[in-house]
Structure 1
Amino acid sequence: MGTVAAAVAVTLGLVGCGSDDSSETAASSTSAVASSAAASSSTAAASSSQAAGNAAQPTAAQLQATLDTLADPATPTADKTAVVVDGAKRAAAIEQLTQALAGYGKLTFTVSDVTVAGNTATAPTVITSPNGAAPAIPLTWENDGGTWKLSDATACTLLGFAQIPCA
């Protein structure tokens, strides 16, 4: 929890350093977080120590792909909601995120050291934006009908980086 709070504080600090335009600021903050994560994911490998032999064990690349989908301004909202558990209820917020990221710059994610407990996968993730990288934060995914999706809590954390409330 302390790591998440630190990452949020860093991300919000990046937002405070942006322009007075709130959507530009939100996009800037989100991009910073995403770019850090991408750097880590390029070198990430899946850890299967807790779920050895489980064919459903997700790889870091699979989990990172859900983040890449969510952060890609060119991806339709319907495709983004499909990678989030109960994503349809977050469609309006996800659309706001898409608008905030348009023209901001690429967010990248680096997912590493995946651990699985039951239907939940957790992995430290570095998010990098055009403004820099944030410290790794633990993000979670849930196995939903055989597909690994971002947990609602993780979606809300990412939306919060862009100052978009999960209501």
Structure 2
Amino acid sequence: MSNAIETRLAELGISLPEAAAPAANYVPFVKVGNLVHVSGQVSQDADGLVKGKLGHDMELEAGAAAAKLCAIGLLAQAKAACGGDLSKLKRVVKLTGFVNSTLEFTDQPKVVNGASDFLVEVLGDAGRHARSAVSAASLPFGVAVEIEGIFEVE
């Protein structure tokens, strides 16, 4: 399946970055049995951190794009947890998305859809998952979105 996942990513014009190193005293992922728990991945791209607060200085579409960036980071960490072999990735089990948003903003699920839709687009049914999408008054470094995930692997 690795070739299928890598091929699909290439078709979408996406190359996974190197798995990000942790920013504090934690590990990027923990493997327990056949589950990999990936630490929160913040919204960032090649230009750096994607910052903003939904409902204040960031629109819904930009927030969903930031969530997609988090999903790309999650896949990069899952790949690292699988020793670089994405064929060992069986499915996405659960995502927990945190959205930097105002008290009045209530579309956190639509923001996190940016990650969920992307994972289904890449992995098909194996990308379907349980999920939580919650508001946060602020996130590390002022990023717009942070998402953690649980993956099933071989």
Scaled to the shorter chain, the TM-score interval is 0.3 to 0.5
Instruction: Give me the TM-score of the superposition, normalised by structure 2.
Output: 0.35
Query: Which structure has the highest helix share of the two?
Result: 1
Query: Which structure has the highest strand share of the two?
Result: 2
